[in-house]
A and B are shown apart, each in its own frame.
Chain A
Amino acid sequence: MTVASSSSVASISAASGAPLLEVRNIAKNFGVHRVLKNISLEIAAGEFLTLLGESGSGKTTLLRLIAGFEQPTSGEIWMSGARLDTLPPYRRRVNTVFQNYALFPHLNVQENVAYGLEVTRASRSEIPTRVADALRMVKMHSFASARPATLSGGQQQRVALARALVNRPQLLLLDEPLSALDANLRKQMQSELKSLQRELGITFLFVTHDQDEAMALSDRIALLKDGALEQVATPREIYAHPSTAYTAQFIGQTNLLHGQISNGVATWASLHWPTSAPNGPVTFSLRPESIHLTNDTHVAEFSRSASESAVAPTTVHFRATILQQTFSGSSEQLEIKCANHTLRVRIPSTNQLSGEHNFYFSPTSATPVRE
């Protein structure tokens, strides 16, 4: 199943009618290299969707296919009920914000922004006002006659945004637009982008490899791995219920527990807890922040054997030795060892710890994932 979380897709689609963009069974090969392997995706109008993945995952290629700079090897792309992939880029109602801005060096800011309007012969009288409005929207109207070479990265970024948006595209593509900016500027631009998108209601398709960025900005995230969609869901959904081990590890941090399930009881490292997942071998994803330190001085209470569990324990307790402790401001990262397994734990910041301690987690925090 390449389109997971169909419920969320359906809910968004249902809210605004038919999807704006449909990617249908798209595959793209470069020579023998299969960069995209049968991608199907729907993007709803007004949505902020992020294509997330490592380099080489195919996210940029998919973006370029939608923009029109590449042709799919097979499959179709449809937008607003019409075939998109057969159109050349200059006839698509899609605009792109490029990674390195791609501002025209021989034109000033104003001329850059006006470019799309001029080449498509927009009404002459309208152009100056539309350009001015676009520049005001990105707070660059005082730089109208400046040359791109004199602007900083962040400023060029805004001009690139204005240049794309002034054409009122149906879909805006953003190719890692913030990756060249430093951390603080990045955060600032992220929130500006988000509020801009909300305000304008234009559909944004955003590409990044930064999962924090994806989670902060998106209505939905489409995680790509090796040319295939790993999971498509809202940020909260994808974080709380990753479908695969890769997703669990790519977005946020996690511990992967390889255990067994029989008769509704999961077993891992001589710990047991109830679960509704099917029998057989299983991998659980357990987020570090789901494991808690307890002050309970009683000897760790190991859950009873399956046959005895008339009352299912609400927590799983275990004892582990602290191997490493890393302070990171608001929290501590612990590396603990429990019965030959190393786990990562995140707890609120506290004093230096050492030796053996008691930990616990709730069974519902352990999400079964596919490998």
Chain B
Amino acid sequence: MYSRLYKLVVSLPPLTWVALFLLMPYALMFAHSFWLVRDGFLIHQWNLQNYAKLFQNPVYATVLLRTARIAASVTILSLLLGYPLAYYMSFHAGIRKDLLYQLVIVPLWVSYLVRGYAWKTILGSEGVLNGFLQYLHITHAPVSFFLYSPFAVVLMLTHIYTPFVFLPLYASLEHIPRNLIEASHDLGASPRSTFFRIILPLSLPGLLAGATFAFVLSLGDFLAPLLVGGPSSIMIANIVQSLFGTAYDWPLGAAISVCILLLTVTLLFLTEHLEKKWAFR
């Protein structure tokens, strides 16, 4: 039904743009990771020094591990918050479902900065939380570890990514035909049994999608440490950021970025593969 000209006209512009502004930049970044910086100048000399540095210098491994730990904590906490919420809304909310859904997506799209800033003001030594605790005489002096700590980073990122985890999960749960649950009860399975045998397995695709999203974005986050993190919560993206800033070493920064990019793409492929395996329709 669509002529070749039609298909050409619709495909060419986005293809060109994507090639120019996505493919080429990634390729350039890839290329940069093999170059060097000497005396403040970029040298186009092909080598593997940057990658060697990454694997040899323990600092990078430490930071990467810490980042992965933070990202994993955020993912798990988001799931712990998001799954019961999605489950409740899908199976027990009745008429209020739609209203509650809007209540969840609002924080999702409202400014990252606003939400991060809110935590900054709450968690500080002079902040609202400390003031609240002292007002109730639960504590008598400001608690300092609330802010500028990994705790604060995890808290803030969980706050940001819980709605992200919620959405695909909710979609998966909504997609489960209700007659399957009735069938399960009919065959003798209690609600608890039905959850573990039917609902949970069928919600895995959505769960996986949400978890990947939260993990990857937390992994590459550099703003949360800047807002609420301290020296002990520097994440890998902060290192990249400084390598492109004051610690001028673009090739090294590019190398780390390539690693993050490859990690993301690998995770995406993995989840896509798993989703296909589990796509039971």
> What residues make up the interface of A, taking CB atoms closer than 8 Å to B?
67-69, 88-91, 94-96, 98-100, 102-106, 115-116, 119-120, 147-149, 163-164, 167
Considering the complex of A and B, which 8 residue pairs feature the smallest CB-CB distances, nearest first?
Answer: A105-B280, A116-B187, A119-B189, A102-B183, A102-B179, A89-B185, A120-B188, A96-B186
Chain A contacts of B281 at CB under 8 A? 105, 149
| B56 in contact (CB, < 8 A) | no
Asked if A147 contacts B187 (CB within 8 A), the reply is no
At the interface with chain A, which of B6-14, B40-48, B196-204? Answer: B196-204
Asked if A104 contacts B186 (CB within 8 A), the reply is no
Main secondary structure of the interface of B (DSSP, over half): helix
Question: How far, in whole Å, are A116 and B201 apart by their CA atoms in the complex?
Answer: 17
Asked if A104 contacts B179 (CB within 8 A), the reply is no
Asked if B183 contacts A98 (CB within 8 A), the reply is yes
Interface residues on B, range: 20 to 34
Asked if B186 contacts A95 (CB within 8 A), the reply is yes
| B98 in contact (CB, < 8 A) | no
> Given known contacts A105-B280, A106-B202, A149-B280, is B180 in contact with A119 (CB within 8 Å)?
no
Q: Which chain B residues in 229-281 approach chain A with CB under 8 Å?
A: 278, 280-281
Most buried by A among B184, B187, B190, B197: B187
Q: Which chain B residues in 169-186 approach chain A with CB under 8 Å?
A: 177, 179-180, 182-186
Question: How far, in whole Å, are A115 and B201 apart by their CA atoms in the complex?
Answer: 14
Chain B contacts of A100 at CB under 8 A? 177, 179
Asked if B185 contacts A167 (CB within 8 A), the reply is no
> Given known contacts A98-B183, A102-B177, is B188 in contact with A90 (CB within 8 Å)?
yes
Residue of A67, A89, A119, A163 touching B197 (CB-CB under 8 A):
A119
Asked if A106 contacts B187 (CB within 8 A), the reply is no
Closest to B177 in A: A102
Chain B contacts of A106 at CB under 8 A? 201-202, 278, 280
A88-B185, A98-B183 known, 4 other contacts, Cβ within 8 Å: A102-B179, A102-B183, A106-B278, A119-B190
Chain A contacts of B189 at CB under 8 A? 90, 115-116, 119
Asked if B188 contacts A167 (CB within 8 A), the reply is yes
| B193 in contact (CB, < 8 A) | yes
Asked if B193 contacts A104 (CB within 8 A), the reply is no
Chain B contacts of A94 at CB under 8 A? 186
Chain B contacts of A149 at CB under 8 A? 280-281
Chain B contacts of A69 at CB under 8 A? 182, 185-186
Closest to B185 in A: A89
Asked if A104 contacts B188 (CB within 8 A), the reply is no
A sample of 29 inter-chain contacts (CB < 8 A) reads: A67-B182, A68-B186, A69-B185, A88-B190, A89-B186, A90-B185, A90-B186, A90-B188, A90-B189, A90-B190, A95-B187, A96-B186, A100-B177, A100-B179, A102-B177, A102-B179, A102-B180, A103-B183, A104-B198, A105-B280, A115-B184, A115-B187, A115-B189, A119-B184, A119-B187, A119-B189, A119-B190, A119-B197, A164-B187
> Given known contacts A105-B202, A106-B201, is B185 in contact with A147 (CB within 8 Å)?
no
Residue of A68, A148, A163, A164 touching B185 (CB-CB under 8 A):
A68
Question: How far, in whole Å, are A164 and B198 apart by their CA atoms in the complex?
Answer: 17
> What residues make up the interface of B, taking CB atoms closer than 8 Å to A?
177, 179-180, 182-190, 193, 197-198, 201-202, 278, 280-281
> Given known contacts A105-B281, A106-B278, A119-B193, is B188 in contact with A98 (CB within 8 Å)?
no
Chain B contacts of A104 at CB under 8 A? 180, 183-184, 198
Question: How far, in whole Å, are A148 and B184 apart by their CA atoms in the complex?
Answer: 16
Chain A contacts of B182 at CB under 8 A? 67, 69, 89, 96, 98, 102
Closest to A160 in B: B183
Asked if B188 contacts A116 (CB within 8 A), the reply is yes
Residue of A91, A96, A147 touching B183 (CB-CB under 8 A):
A96
Chain B contacts of A95 at CB under 8 A? 186-187
Asked if B280 contacts A147 (CB within 8 A), the reply is yes
Closest to B188 in A: A120
Question: How far, in whole Å, are A145 and B116 apart by their CA atoms in the complex?
Answer: 51
Chain A contacts of B188 at CB under 8 A? 90-91, 116, 119-120, 167
Asked if A163 contacts B187 (CB within 8 A), the reply is yes
Q: Tell me the minimal C-beta distance from A103 to chain B in angstroms.
A: 8
Question: How far, in whole Å, are A68 and B189 apart by their CA atoms in the complex?
Answer: 13
Question: How far, in whole Å, are A102 and B184 apart by their CA atoms in the complex?
Answer: 9
Q: Tell me the minimal C-beta distance from B116 to chain A in angstroms.
A: 39
Question: How far, in whole Å, are A102 and B186 apart by their CA atoms in the complex?
Answer: 11
Chain B contacts of A99 at CB under 8 A? 179
Q: Tell me the minimal C-beta distance from A310 to chain B in angstroms.
A: 65
Question: How far, in whole Å, are A149 and B278 apart by their CA atoms in the complex?
Answer: 12
Q: Tell me the minimal C-beta distance from B269 to chain A in angstroms.
A: 22
Question: How far, in whole Å, are A149 and B281 apart by their CA atoms in the complex?
Answer: 6
Question: How far, in whole Å, are A120 and B194 apart by their CA atoms in the complex?
Answer: 12
Closest to B186 in A: A96
Question: How far, in whole Å, are A105 and B176 apart by their CA atoms in the complex?
Answer: 10
Question: How far, in whole Å, are A119 and B183 apart by their CA atoms in the complex?
Answer: 12
Chain A contacts of B197 at CB under 8 A? 115, 119
Chain B contacts of A102 at CB under 8 A? 177, 179-180, 182-183
Chain B contacts of A147 at CB under 8 A? 280
Closest to B193 in A: A119
Most buried by A among B185, B198, B278, B281: B185
Chain A contacts of B177 at CB under 8 A? 100, 102
Chain B contacts of A116 at CB under 8 A? 187-189
Question: How far, in whole Å, are A247 and B281 apart by their CA atoms in the complex?
Answer: 42
Chain A contacts of B185 at CB under 8 A? 68-69, 88-90
Question: How far, in whole Å, are A4 and B108 apart by their CA atoms in the complex?
Answer: 62
